[in-house]
Amino acid sequence: MSRKPQRRNRASRRHPNRPNGGVPVATPTGWPSPDIVADTIDANVLARELLDAMKPATMQTILKRMDPNARKAVLAQRNIPSAKVSQRAAAQVLGLVRAVDKPAEGTLLAAILDPASDLFQYAVITPPGLTGMRLLLADLGLPLIADNESLFQGLRTWSQWAQEDFEDLTLAVVIGMRCQNSALAASYLAANHPDIAKQYESLRKRFPRMPRVSESRLTVSNPLTRYFSARTDQALPSTSGQLNTLLVQDSKIREREIAETRSQQRYDLSEYASRLHQRIHDSAEAEPEETAPPETPDAVFDRWSGHLDHELPALPTFDEWAQAVAAARECMTRLLSGRPPEESRFELLLSIRHRLDNFSLLLTHVTQSEVFPVRDDLERALTMALSDPSMSERLGNPPETVGDVIARLEALPDEARNRAVPVPPPPDDSTAQAYDLSDLDSILSGETGKQLLAFATMREADGSDRLSAAAEPDGETA
């Protein structure tokens, strides 16, 4: 495992067979330096506890997983047999690493756990890549990793080499050796060690762009491990390009399965929606009627603003978008089986839909042309507006929050603010990659999206409790 970059005689040495050409990466923007992480997290204390509890059999497993040449280089100079690693040899090594005053910074332990460097020293960690590592649905997370060769290789090494028995010790050494992505290692340790969690949260207050504390161990949550453990017919790809090809193939299979499910479904969604509408109507008749407010431009606009938090970003973040795709897929599955979606799963979908609609109305006014409420069109129109002097003057400073967008829309002439949101054309299947995040655009624009938004609209108009009660199928089989 490479030492911190200041030690030029070691860390600057290139290892061409490693990710990123064996060149240590820069610490991600907004993350603390490796020195700050090491000074805040008690990696040596944790490493000492883990080594004292470790059995020789675990050290034997680690030594056997080392590259034979690397193992020979490390053990031969200490007169420990390396050809066949016995429990006696493992016990000798364990005694040596326990004897170090600061075990997380010891060179012998670092050399033994060196494969972890592929992820924590040589992999480029980007916001999309980090999102891909943390998404619950592995098939949605992998496309965010497939375009990042160094991250793919780091996760691939971890999937093949790491084991839960020595994961925490490895992460402690990553911090002690001041690897560039040591903050990421600390985020996984914090999930299982309360003392580390307190130290990590104190650090995160100073560096809010650090990763949030992971909900599970890396050996368990690694998307490559999760995806391919269920694909026993497929070997782990060697490159990110091979992974991309496999994801495209799997996406086509999934599309066929969805089509078959749609053709076999026993429930007519339109019929179900009609009955649901009727139940809500019957429920409303039993309550005192309220006088509807007059139809004014403000009332019309309130329908678009929905229940949005005005402090939310004006446009969805990458992480929000990825989570929404996962939620949309779950909702779509329930709709195809004739069941209403769970309300908790489409809250984020509603938020994204409202924000895209609002921004498209604003940019339609600024550019004097239709701007569709989909990511690609919004990005195109915003780039055009910022580069054209007259458009830039109409736009002013780009709005940063939902409240900024709503304030701009409220200031528009009635004709502009009451304009209908442009309806986007159907997705171009010939160019779209079906497995990527454009899934959400397709879902919100397609027939299933209409059903989803119909349920969502009923929720907004009639209240979530009433919708939940009305959605009960009264014992009918869905």
- For 155-187, what is each residue's pLDDT tens digit? 999 999 999 999 999 999 999 999 999 999 999
Confidence of residue 142 (pLDDT cuts 50, 70, 90): confident
Confidence of residue 275 (pLDDT cuts 50, 70, 90): low
Confidence of residue 308 (pLDDT cuts 50, 70, 90): confident
Residue 337 has pLDDT above 90, yes or no: no
Q: Which residues contact 177 (CB under 8 A, 6 or more apart)?
A: 1, 2, 3, 4, 104, 105, 110
Determine contact, residues 143/435, Cβ cutoff 8 Å: yes
DSSP assignment, residue 478? -
Determine contact, residues 334/340, Cβ cutoff 8 Å: yes
* Cα–Cα distance measured from residue 96 to residue 110, given in angstroms and rounded to the nearest whole number: 13
Confidence of residue 447 (pLDDT cuts 50, 70, 90): very low
Query: What mean pLDDT do residues 117-144 have?
Result: 87
Query: What mean pLDDT do residues 234-253 have?
Result: 87
Determine contact, residues 51/103, Cβ cutoff 8 Å: yes
What is the pLDDT, as a whole number, of residue 314?
84
* Cα–Cα distance measured from residue 201 to residue 270, given in angstroms and rounded to the nearest whole number: 49
What is the pLDDT, as a whole number, of residue 313?
86
Three-state DSSP at 41 gives: coil
Query: What mean pLDDT do residues 204-221 have?
Result: 92
Q: In 3D, which of 336, 347, 349 has the Cα closest to residue 272?
A: 336
What is the pLDDT, as a whole number, of residue 421?
74
Name the least confident of 3-7, 18-22, 55-59, 378-382.
3-7
What is the pLDDT, as a whole number, of residue 131?
83
What is the pLDDT, as a whole number, of residue 121?
95
What is the pLDDT, as a whole number, of residue 255?
65
Residue 338 φ/ψ region, left for φ over 0, alpha for ψ in the -120 to 50 degree band, beta for the rest: left
What is the pLDDT, as a whole number, of residue 169?
97
More confident residue, 246 or 297: 246
What is the pLDDT, as a whole number, of residue 435?
37
Please state the domain extents for the chain. Answer: 8-248, 267-286+294-471
What is the pLDDT, as a whole number, of residue 91?
95
Three-state DSSP at 372 gives: coil
For the ranges 26-35, 128-137, 294-303, the one whose mean pLDDT is highest = 26-35
Number of Cβ within a 10 Å radius of residue 66: 21
Name the least confident of 53-67, 235-249, 287-301, 392-406.
287-301
Q: What is the mean pLDDT of the chain?
A: 77
CA dihedral 84, 87, 92, 98 (to 10 degrees): 130
* Cα–Cα distance measured from residue 172 to residue 295, given in angstroms and rounded to the nearest whole number: 62
Number of Cβ within a 10 Å radius of residue 186: 30
Percent of the chain with pLDDT over 70: 71
Percent of the chain with pLDDT over 90: 38
Q: Is the pTM higher than 0.85?
A: no
The tens digit of pLDDT for each residue in 344-401 reads: 666 777 778 888 888 888 888 888 888 888 777 887 888 888 888 888 888 888 888 8
Residue 424 has pLDDT above 90, yes or no: no
Please, what sign has the CA dihedral across residues 58, 59, 62, 63?
A: negative
